[in-house]
Amino acid sequence: MKKVGIYIHIPFCKQKCYYCDFISYCNKDYLICDYVKCLKTELKEVANVIKYNCKYNNSEPVVIDTIYIGGGTPSYIDSKYIKEIMETINKSYELDLEEATIEVNPKTVDELKLKTYKEAGINRLSIGMQETKDEILKKIGRIHTYSDFLKTYRIARKIGFDNINIDIMIGLPNQKLEDVKDTINKVIELNPEHISLYSLILEENTKLYELVKNKEITLETDEIERRMYHSARKNLNRNGYKQYEISNFSKKGYESKHNLNCWNQNEYIGFGVASHSYTDNIRYSNIESIEQYIENYKQNKQENNIIFHEKQNEQSKMMEYIMLNLRKIKGINICEFKKVFKDDVMNIFGEKISKLHNQKLIKISRSNIALTIKGLDLANIVWQEFV
């Protein structure tokens, strides 16, 4: 039996954050109902294909072990739609569900929505807080305040959510090292199970990019941003949040199972506009236009929604395996690599690995190859060796 994750993309937002370059839409609420109908149809059709392949093509049976509902802002839409999506998954697939996550924005969720999520089978929340200072939140276009976040967090605990992630960002406009320290301390006091720590990435075609370009907003230097990261990292580790990936920290047993499956090169199926999938060594995605995605279903031409990206050969799969596993703090398990690919990683990539080791970007032990502290800061240089 093959365990597979499901990703559901809800691309609607009340307002686009100034730093966001994801596929998401504001002022398109009139499409929500049609979009969810198409999403449910896609879920059913893929389930039927899986059942057909299992019955007639001797394919391995598929069981769903993780669900991740991301965006956009999933909590922006009516919770009845989330309930319908979860019901469709439950009816269409065989489940051995370990984790079902939904992303929420504190300004677009209330007690009724949170209760509906829990009743629908969602057992993990990922709350986008980002910072505790309201003036900094405003600078990056967040629609909530710190007070909104605290209210959401407390309601979630009251309802019974016992697996909560809090998103934090560093390197933000007007954000100082002391602000990051204060944010980390306040979050630790709340005692969530999981904390994600993301560095701001300034992407073209975002409002923040234009503001910085026009010198209306200034950002701290890379050196200060790295000091923020390492200060937060040390504080989190010191307080029981073990770092298991470059940007992720958790209490023991609360690592994100869905994301770990992706980094372990396990299979997942994406549903909805611009979602990505990885099955049978094939990477593919859905188109990015929400209007076209819906229209293709209306015209019974949903096959036009799919974009093929890559059929991996053994070499490309090995290189991707290395890049994904080097995201994790424990790195590449040398024995596991040999088990998967029937060869020693040093036989295949010894020259590249030695080069990175000499640059003090990776460390090598008998059992693992992993990023060093320096490598955490320069991970892109490491990954570039395996592109």
Q: Is CATH 3.20.20.70 the right assignment for the domain spanning 2-263? A: yes
Find the mean pLDDT for residues 180-192: 98
pLDDT tens sequence across 33-91: 999 999 999 999 999 999 999 888 888 999 999 999 999 999 999 999 999 999 999 99
Q: Report residue 171 as tokens.
A: 């390197």
Q: What is the pLDDT of residue 366?
A: 92
pLDDT of 279 above 90: yes
Beta strands 62-71 and 95-104, pairing class:
parallel
Q: Which amino acid is at 139?
A: K
Find the mean pLDDT for residues 272-296: 97
Residue 33: which residues within 8 A CB-CB, separation 6 or more? Answer: none
Q: What is the pLDDT of residue 387?
A: 84
Average per-residue pLDDT in the chain? 97
pLDDT tens sequence across 38-48: 999 999 999 99
Q: Report H helices in 7-131.
A: 32-56, 79-92, 111-120
Q: pTM to 2 decimals?
A: 0.96
pLDDT tens sequence across 187-224: 999 999 999 999 999 999 999 999 999 999 989 999 99
Which DSSP state fits 328?
A: B
Beta bridge partners of 69: 8, 102
pLDDT tens sequence across 156-178: 999 999 999 999 999 999 999 99
Which residue ranges make up each domain of the chain? 2-263, 314-384
Q: Write the burial class of residue 108 (CB in 10 Å: 0-12 exposed, 13-18 middle, 19+ buried).
A: buried
Where b means 16+ CB within 10 Å and e means fewer, 117-139 reads beebebbbbbbbbbbbbeebbeb
Model confidence at 114, pLDDT cuts 50, 70, 90, reads very high
Find the mean pLDDT for residues 344-348: 95
Domain 314-384: which CATH number of 2.40.50.140, 3.40.190.10, 2.60.40.10, 1.10.10.920: 1.10.10.920
